Amino acid sequence: MGSFLACQAWRLHYKDVGGKKLGQRSVCLSCNKQLKWYDNIPIFSWILLGGKCRYCKKKIGMMEILAELLMGLAFLGVALALNPFEMTLLGKMIFVLDLLLVTALGFLAIYDGMWGELPSFMLVIALVLAAGVAGCKIWLYGFSLPMLWNLLGAVAILGGIYLVLYLVSRGKWVGSGDWVLGLIIALSLSEAWLALIVLCLSNCLGLIIMYPTVRKKKNQKIYFGPFLVMAFVIVLVFAKVLNGLIFKQLMLK
């Protein structure tokens, strides 16, 4: 799935910038040579080729291998955390919607990380999937006022803060898609406490991973999407552990 998304991101980007035409088969973006099937095997081909094109020896780039590895880990994590075999039908539906959402967000993270844009058609798809997850959760646990407050709290923390930052800075501090991405993540988690962890974790990840780049080059723009998505997947996978932490604290008090 990671390999597929990375490939689709390139195809969409090339279509959008109206540059070179990409054929049906995958080609090297540098020498345009058509790739053999054995050079397209996720993770293995990249490693066997040493991250370079077989023909022109130009570097393939880190995004491809990162997308393949991280997407694999994300699917493994979600499957282990939300074991679909022990679930009711509604639980299974949430599991499928969550996997589709992780896929849509993976695409957005790749596109944002590479070109600093969040394609709106994919934001809409992810928003519909996230609303579906929130709807299924309300259906599963039954509607209650505390639940609604919890959901609205999550939306305010992730969607609201980025919307305010966007409006106050007129798009200078954060991009226009970031608050929608926050809203999507908030809806699918439906819990204020988990939304708060995503907010902190994404900023920490961004700070740690981008620190060397920013130190070398001042005024460097950081695209925040990949870090928001990474933090979301980590919180989704460890939601039970994280919820256990706060509920234990509340019980002690």
Q: Which residues bind Zn ion (CB under 5 A)?
A: 28, 30-31, 53, 55-56
Q: How far is the CB of 55 from Zn ion (least distance, A)?
A: 5
Type of residue found at 63: M
Outline where DSSP puts E strands in 107-183. none
H helix count then E strand count, the chain: 11, 0
Q: How far is CA 176 from CA 89, 112, 163, 200, in A?
A: 37, 12, 8, 20
**Token digits of residue 18:** 């109206």
Which is nearer to Zn ion, 6 or 101 (by Cβ)? Answer: 6
Instruction: Give CA–CA dist 85/104, Å, rounded.
Output: 24
Which is nearer to Zn ion, 53 or 94 (by Cβ)? Answer: 53
Q: How far is the CB of 33 from Zn ion (least distance, A)?
A: 5
Which is nearer to Zn ion, 31 or 76 (by Cβ)? Answer: 31
Q: How far is the CB of 27 from Zn ion (least distance, A)?
A: 8
Q: How far is the CB of 218 from Zn ion (least distance, A)?
A: 34
Q: Which residues pair with 34 in a beta bridge?
A: 27
Which is nearer to Zn ion, 29 or 131 (by Cβ)? Answer: 29
Q: Which residues pair with 27 in a beta bridge?
A: 34
Q: How far is the CB of 60 from Zn ion (least distance, A)?
A: 9
Among residues 150, 149, 173, the alpha carbon closest in space to that of 162 is found at: 173
Cβ neighbours of residue 84 closer than 8 Å, sequence gap 6 or more: 91, 92, 95, 96
Instruction: Give CA–CA dist 239/245, Å, rounded.
Output: 10
Please provide residue 57's backbone torsions phi and psi, each rounded to the nearest 5 degrees: 65, 15
Which is nearer to Zn ion, 56 or 148 (by Cβ)? Answer: 56
Which is nearer to Zn ion, 32 or 220 (by Cβ)? Answer: 32
Q: How far is the CB of 1 from Zn ion (least distance, A)?
A: 25
